[in-house]
């Protein structure tokens, strides 16, 4: 599968909102995603294969820190390197913007994601109690030095 990673644009919004609804209990709305197009600290990237959106990732870069707000991949494109490609691109972009680290939260029960993040150099640094809803669960905080 050939992937193209590009910045999020208006044309991506409907597919990303659909992906959000598919993956998350509290998804971004089309309007919420659209508002990030003008946010200077927001950097949302999209993985495309052909004319299809395969996945996307949103990060916020502030001073020397980068925070991952979301990463999601359509089910038919999972386990094909989409998430890895997005994380590598976002990390490189954040480093260029001056970030020294990249951090995220993940459900500990999402074992595939935790394994992926660890394989890409993220380390466990803490736990946020009762961070997630539907179902309620703690969040594992993971960080990678860039």
Model pLDDT for residues 2-38, shown as the tens digit of each residue: 999 999 999 999 999 999 999 998 899 999 999 999 9
Catalytic residues: 105, 117
* CATH fold label, 4-145: Aminopeptidase (3.40.630)
Closest residue by Cα to residue 55 from 116, 107, 143: 116
Rounded to whole angstroms, the Cα distance separating 12 from 14 reads 6
Q: What are phi and psi of 132, to 5 degrees?
A: -95, 155
**Considering only CA atoms, which of 25, 26, 89 is closest in space to residue 54?**
89
Q: 1 pLDDT exceeds 90?
A: no
Which of the four pLDDT bands, split at 50, 70 and 90, describes residue 134? confident
- The full set of domain ranges for the chain reads 4-145
- Identify the three-state secondary structure at position 127: strand
Assessment of whether the complete model's pTM goes beyond 0.85: yes
What pLDDT, in 10s, does the model give residues 115-133? Answer: 999 999 999 999 999 998 8
- Rounded mean pLDDT, 31-50: 97
* Mean pLDDT value across residues 29-52: 96
- What was the pLDDT predicted at 109? 95
The owner of tokens 């959106």 is 53
pLDDT of 100:
97
Give the model confidence (pLDDT) of 56-98 as tens digits. 999 999 999 999 999 999 999 999 999 999 999 999 999 999 9
C-alpha–C-alpha distance, residues 32 and 28, integer Å: 6
């Amino acid at each position: 599968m050939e992937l193209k990673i590009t910045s999020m644009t208006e044309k991506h919004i409907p597919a990303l909102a659909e992906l959000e609804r598919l993956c998350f209990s509290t998804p971004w709305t089309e309007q919420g995603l659209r508002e990030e197009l003008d946010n200077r600290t927001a950097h949302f990237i999209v993985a495309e294969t052909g004319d299809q959106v395969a996945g996307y990732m949103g990060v916020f870069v502030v001073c020397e820190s980068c925070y991952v707000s979301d990463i999601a991949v359509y089910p038919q494109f999972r386990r094909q390197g989409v998430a890895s490609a997005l994380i590598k691109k976002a990390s490189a972009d954040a480093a260029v913007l001056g970030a020294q680290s990249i951090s995220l939260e993940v459900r500990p029960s999402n074992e595939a994601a935790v394994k992926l993040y660890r394989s890409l150099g993220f380390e466990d640094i803490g736990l946020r109690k009762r961070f997630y809803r539907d179902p309620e669960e703690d969040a594992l905080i993971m960080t990678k030095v860039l």
